[in-house]
A and B are shown apart, each in its own frame.
Chain A
Amino acid sequence: MPIEKLHKTKKKKNLTVLAIIAAWIVIIWIVTMIKVNHGS
């Protein structure tokens, strides 16, 4: 897919959103591990 001007304009915002989604997944994993190990 050719890189349009829109891609470049939105790149920073899209990468930020990706990072937030990844962080959320990691936090859910951490929370799950804690609850499994502590039996709550």
Chain B
Amino acid sequence: MKEIDIDNNNILSEASVSDYFSLLKPRVMSLVVFTGFAGLWLAPNPLELHPVLAIVAIACLAINAGAAGAINMWYDRDIDAVMKRTENRALPLNKMHPDEALTFGIVLSVLSVMMMGIATNWVAAGLLAFANFFYVFIYTMWLKRSTPQNIVIGGAAGAFPPMIGWAAVTGDITMASISLFAIIFFWTPPHFWALALFANADYQRAKVPMLPVTHGEAHTKMQMMVYSIIMIPISAAPYFLDIAGKGYLIAALILSAFFLFTNIRVLFDKTYKSAKLMFSYSVFYLFALFLALMIDKV
């Protein structure tokens, strides 16, 4: 670790570019880019949007998501320091002054919203700003530390990208774009609760009220089942809203059935092996659903 000098609260930071990049949560960004692009592709007449403007829109989406992640890391640096999963992040390791991370996040948030508005339209920019606001203020600063339903409500922030991609093309919000939002919204709780099951000790140590910590594993597993069952009609909704064909419907039902199957295994498994498998599959599941939607449109 590089040495950091502290001089009247001005840390002479020697944080590298990769340290700043790590603040943006690159793995989360990749999911945002993919689902945002999916929303853009699935919108009516996506080719009406100039390709350079489309690329700029997706870049703004990615940067804004990363910026929200940086602000989240700034706010949660106390929790991150005590969790094994996050103790090696830049701020717990004192690789930079916290104010630098906060400034980095705020500047990128504002610039990305402005650029989205200039490149596409102000509906997309407004949705982008709202998603950022929701993740930072509603989820990070309020829900995460105060309720076991944190990930249920707060997960809405991660569900906005396809709506934003759609709005970048059309300038509006429709039932079809809301159905894409709903897929991610209802996918989020079982995905994160599967993680929370095998990272339970970490969340307990950090006193984060994740559902397994507050209500136990049995209750969490039942809640996960409810959402997994709900995902079957939710994932099929694009077919009934005429934004996908029968090919997608079949793929969605198969993928969702397997998602439910992995959840059933979690229900009866006293170890965490099934939870880890379900968590890994849930990532593939979401990518596969949106990929199926895009392929179906072609």
Contacts and interface: CB of A to CB of B under 8 A. Distances in A.
Nearest to B12: A9
A9 B50 contact: no
Interface residues of B, number: 12
A31 B17 contact: no
Nearest to A16: B17
A6 B13 CA distance: 10
B56 interface: yes
Contact of A6 (B12, B14, B115): B12
A26 to B, nearest CB: 12
Nearest to B50: A34
A10 B52 CA distance: 34
Interface residues of A, number: 15
Nearest to A30: B52
Interface string A10-33: 100100100000001001101110
A31 B118 contact: yes
B53 A31 contact: yes
Interface in B51-79: 52-53, 56
A31 B119 contact: yes
B183 to A, nearest CB: 30
Contacts of B52: 30-31, 34
Interface of B: 12-14, 17, 50, 52-53, 56, 111, 115, 118-119
Given A6-B12, A31-B52, A40-B50, 9 more contacts: A13-B13, A27-B56, A28-B115, A30-B52, A31-B115, A31-B119, A32-B118, A34-B52, A34-B53
Interface of A: 6, 9-10, 13, 16, 24, 27-28, 30-32, 34-35, 38, 40
